[in-house]
Structure 1
């Protein structure tokens, strides 16, 4: 079976290995995905009912006429509570792997000191927020 094909395969091993077959499958899937989206949007445009009315031109189309300004104030404390939640969620996520490492042999004292330093930083942040009155809901 020594011939020009065998010589070409020996010179370039990627020629017969199907290296580009994976890229062809990804490309075909991308084309199918784009076609699916295009067909869905086209069908939506062709099949939807078009009814022009003055209500459609209102700012809100929920059935309630807009009253007042479109500007609404949001309390800053909601963001502060969300930020504190994220801080303590990260703390909780960090505690689970720490507990598993702490149980392993040879990691006891160093891991314990690291965790208390980490918890100390969180405690200082919580005390600062408490001292500033951020945690009071008034």
Structure 2
């Protein structure tokens, strides 16, 4: 009977005990990475020469400046792709939930609002002339 009372009287781990374990693992991870970088800094050979400081371009000596301009439309197309990929990811779970009982008009209105926001963004891109490849 005394053993049961001792177990009952033992302090229970608090709410933040699980977070303390996660925090401890995060600190250990940061210390591990910092020690690895420190060991790399101390143990690596360091012999900088003029040739080692040049930019490497597939064995060809660099000519001109290291600045290259990129058309912004490539980024815009990538951004539009990401927007519509997220839309597709959101549509599949919505379609499965929509079929469940009790999720009728509310989820349908939410989806129309979501698609409306995407349509406004696409209309804005179209009006700005971003979708033209000339």
Give the TM bin, normalised by the shorter chain. Answer: 0.5 to 0.7
1:115 matched to 2:111? The reply is: yes
In structure 2, the CA distance between the partners of 1:133 and 1:51, relative to structure 1 (3 Å rule), is same
**2:56, 2:62 within 8 Å by CA — same for their partners in 1?**
no
CA contact (8 A) 1:55 1:61 kept: no
Matches within 5 A, 1:1-138: 10=9, 13-14=10-11, 34=31, 38=35, 42=39, 46=43, 53-58=49-54, 60-62=55-57, 63-138=59-134
Greater helix proportion: 1
Under a length normalisation based on structure 1, what TM-score does the superposition of the two structures give? Answer: 0.62
TM-score, normalised on structure 2? 0.63
Q: Secondary structure at the match of 1:70?
A: coil
Q: Is the 1:102–1:112 Cα contact (8 Å) retained in structure 2? A: yes
Shift in alpha-carbon separation, 1:136–1:34, aligned structure 2, 3 A: same
- Structure index of larger Rg: 1
Structure 1 residue ranges without an equivalent (≥5): none
3-state SS in 2 of match to 1:104: coil
RMSD: 3.8
CA distance in 2, matches of 1:84, 1:97: 21
How many aligned positions are there? 126
Distance change (3 Å), C-alpha of 1:113 and 1:18: closer
Bigger relative contact order, structure 1 or 2 (CA pairs below 8 A, ≥6 apart): 2
